[in-house]
Chains A and B, each alone.
Chain A
């Protein structure tokens, strides 16, 4: 079974074609990372799968049960943390499920807190708990770690991998961070000129970073994103392809 089936999706803003007859399939429980330059249509594709953007041309088939973690936490500041997590759940099971979900992201102590008292990383974990509490069949992550500091990001990566192991939703992660994509995903796809340009299976790669194939994959992805400097081969180099 496939969680996501996109056929011939086209989206243009004026004369600027963002998605050009794009095809995409995501299997059940598969973790797919979508990389591409900023303004390249990654977020548009994710929003279309979320049902937030209209489908003008082509067809999109997604599960009804899906949730999104946005770039910003988007918590309601006037509701306590657990009430944010339980947003939209049936009244009877709100409290218990919110508490359980918050425990999973390590924030059980903060259930009663106001969102404005949380740090950026904590707020994004609450957003993650809110997305997972309804057991989605498709989880859409729109650069959810972009605004976090490097250390928090490392923690979040481990958390996301662990939560994916436990809940097994299909995941589409939109990111511009090639390392993040390689570390988290089963498969990395590159969006270029409105089409899916390249696919790299990474399932077995991230097990061992010293594997030369890992470095090859990384260099190839960066090349596709327009980073061709000599230092690309150096694994310790800063590798943000964003201008």
Chain B
């Protein structure tokens, strides 16, 4: 509302304190005075422009401000490694990790395994998101579907889905199927929960309006239900993609013949901490990238809410 740079000055009412000149009180005191009606009674407050000098700060781009803490952490990490606060066998220096990254890229180990893992995660997440979205819409809109499915899905949700992995391996073997399936399950459930609650919050008066203006069921879902539930749906997508990387790590711990999991497995048995750290950094980057993608999608799809 008010101009943040405005300055409030408080002047004593005429004759309130004989002998003392009307004092101009700084803004903070003016605000404090508002807290107590007795003290504020009779006082006058002036808001005026142009008092912002005291608050003017150096303008730094948001991206730089966000990067400061990560850069400091890496700097500390480098400092600690160089000063031998810990053995580089246990935690190698960031510089060495970066060099290892280049080596792994050049000999093709990282790109090929990364591609396999990314494909797994995205395949599983895509199926999971599609399933979760459809179930969420169906359960959110139609009572009979809710009665048939909701209790079961809520029950499944309480199972830590990763414990099913050994079973999946027994049932489906050790190839791609159990890995993708575990990612699918891990992503479908948060997607379902968020979509359903989003669909439930869609204003019924808008649904009624849509029907009144001749939208059939499919167009009603496309133009009213899904956009109305979009904030929740995007939250679901963000959770799901986050969980897909988690599920991937666990899925690849068991019998990985290819993928980042294989890199981890080999590096672990040979005590190659540099490679382990490279993979950790790669996971962090993947998480960051997915988050940025969802943020951009949010910015575009929810532009109607205004900034």
Contact = CB atoms under 8 A, between A and B. Distances in A.
Given A74-B205, A74-B209, A76-B223, A87 B304 contact: no
A116 B213 contact: no
A114 B304 contact: yes
Nearest to B227: A78
A67 interface: yes
Given A52-B208, A70-B205, A87-B223, A77 B213 contact: no
Interface bracket on A: 20 to 34
A67 B206 contact: no
Contacts of A50: 212
Interface string A125-137: 0000010001000
Nearest to A133: B213
B138 interface: no
A190 to B, nearest CB: 26
A130 B227 contact: no
B304 to A, nearest CB: 4
A77 B205 contact: no
B80 interface: no
A152 interface: no
A72 B205 contact: yes
In this complex, the member of A50, A52, A76, A117 whose beta carbon has the largest number of chain B beta carbons within 10 angstroms is: A76
Interface in B264-307: 303-306
A88 interface: yes
A67 B304 contact: no
Contacts of B131: none
A112 to B, nearest CB: 12
Nearest to B212: A68
Interface of B: 205-206, 208-215, 219, 223-224, 227-228, 230, 303-306
Given A70-B209, A88-B214, A130-B213, 8 more contacts: A50-B212, A67-B212, A74-B208, A76-B223, A79-B304, A87-B210, A115-B304, A116-B304
Top 3 closest A-B pairs, CB basis? Answer: A78-B227, A74-B209, A88-B214
